[in-house]
Amino acid sequence: MTVRFGLVGYGKGGRFFHAPLVARAEGCALTAAVTRSPRRRAELAADHTGAVAFDDLASMAASGLVDAVTVTTTADTHADLVLEAVDLGLPVVCDKPFALDASAAQRCVDAARAAGVLLSTYQNRRYDNDFRTTRAVVASGALGQVRRIESRLEQFAPPGGVPDSGGGILLDLGAHVVDQVLQLAGPVASVYADVSPERFALQVRHASGVVSEVVGDLALHGRPGPRFRVFGTDAILEVPADDRQADVLMAGGTPADPGWGEVPQASWPILHRGASSTRIPAERADWRDFYTAFAAAVTDGLPVPVDPADSVAGLVVLEAAARSATTGEVVRL
């Protein structure tokens, strides 16, 4: 069975980071989108022949053209649209950040659970080559016991300055990097943060004893640092920042392009053990895997690819980071 998806929103996120993936993910089809903008309706028609545009979510649901929806509007609208989709009985994917605060996100989780409606959050960076490789190496035990994680998500300053995505840089980039360190090292005990409109730096102490140093930067003026460095009792893993999915999609490419998700050998991660350094193969990246897994949850009753409770936990950490940046103090959870 093919799961027919409708997008709620066809701006930058919907057009470039969802539509091409849904259209080419196994078990999925893009059949509709909610957008009132004449320009975006024209783009939808040009990009995806046969996809139908609607004025609102209720009209799209009533059309019978969709089996599931993805909310990809600004962050301040996410919670209300998720709740509307749940009320309509539609399985729903919500872009990150899940909501502007953890309490709103938890209301969505509770509503979906009570209604028996599938809900997942689009933590697509779990499907980057760098994170997939890091998680696999950590899980293999090759590093010994992990003591410290460095994670950097850095981007060059965009023309016109840093855009307002509806949640600021801490929610925009922070939703990715905090989710990743929670996956790698578990629940958080305390957070210390420095935050500006363009950058943030967090020191996250996990209940496991691991310390994660997390940086986000939307105004980089030089070469990015390693995407990950993970320090263990036996070895150190260094993972370059070379996941090209976003760049390919923003340039008008698709997952059907040759080389999608592959990493050139020169950018393979390096395993440092004593004086020895060895490049190891990078895992293949593919954001489509999220949608294929969500479709399987809809059709076969499998678990959703990202438990929305994970994103609630991430928002709790990000709220603590915001308090820390305001007070200059460590915030304990």
CB 206 within 8 A of CB 186: yes
Residues 217 and 246 both lie in one domain: yes
CB 277 within 8 A of CB 271: yes
Residues 177 and 92 both lie in one domain: no
Residues 40 and 83 both lie in one domain: yes
CATH code of 89's domain: 3.40.50.720
Ramachandran assignment for 142, one of left (phi > 0), alpha (psi -120 to 50 degrees), beta (any other): alpha
Reference 287, options 6, 23, 12, 1; nearest CA is 23
CA distance 189 to 204: 8
Contacts of 107 (CB under 8 A, 6+ apart): 79, 83
Asked if residue 41 belongs to a domain, the reply is yes
Asked if residue 311 belongs to a domain, the reply is no
Asked if residue 10 belongs to a domain, the reply is yes
Residues 265 and 220 both lie in one domain: yes
Residues 106 and 135 both lie in one domain: no
- What is the span of the domain harbouring residue 39? 3-124+290-306
Q: What's the first-to-final CA gap in the chain, in angstroms?
A: 44
Residues 175 and 32 both lie in one domain: no
Residues 65 and 200 both lie in one domain: no
Reference 95, options 103, 108, 87; nearest CA is 108
- What does each C-alpha distance from 172 to 66, 167, 191, 216, 309 come to in angstroms? 28, 6, 18, 9, 18
* Position 224, amino acid: P
| pLDDT value for 222 | 84
Asked if residue 40 belongs to a domain, the reply is yes
| pLDDT value for 160 | 64
| pLDDT value for 169 | 92
| pLDDT value for 227 | 97
Residues 294 and 259 both lie in one domain: no
| pLDDT value for 164 | 60
Number of domains in the chain: 2
Task: Tell me whether strands 146-156 and 119-122 are parallel, antiparallel or unpaired.
Answer: unpaired
Residues 275 and 129 both lie in one domain: yes
Decide: helix, strand or coil at residue 141.
coil
Please state whether the peptide bond connecting residue 97 to the residue before it is cis, i.e. omega within 30 degrees of 0. yes
CA distance 99 to 75: 6
Residues 30 and 160 both lie in one domain: no
Asked if residue 85 belongs to a domain, the reply is yes
DSSP secondary structure letter of residue 13: I
Residues 36 and 130 both lie in one domain: no
Residues 145 and 22 both lie in one domain: no
Asked if residue 312 belongs to a domain, the reply is no
CATH code of 228's domain: 3.30.360.10
pTM of the model: 0.96
Per-residue pLDDT of the chain (333 residues; tens, 9 = 90+): 999 999 999 999 999 999 999 999 999 999 999 999 999 999 999 999 999 999 999 999 999 999 999 999 999 999 999 999 999 999 999 999 999 999 999 999 999 999 999 999 999 999 999 999 999 999 999 999 999 999 999 888 766 665 565 678 999 999 999 999 999 999 999 999 999 999 999 999 999 999 999 999 988 888 888 999 999 999 999 999 999 999 999 999 999 999 999 999 999 999 999 999 999 999 999 999 999 999 999 999 999 999 999 999 999 999 999 999 999 999 999
Across the strands, what pairs with 204?
191, 212
| pLDDT value for 146 | 98
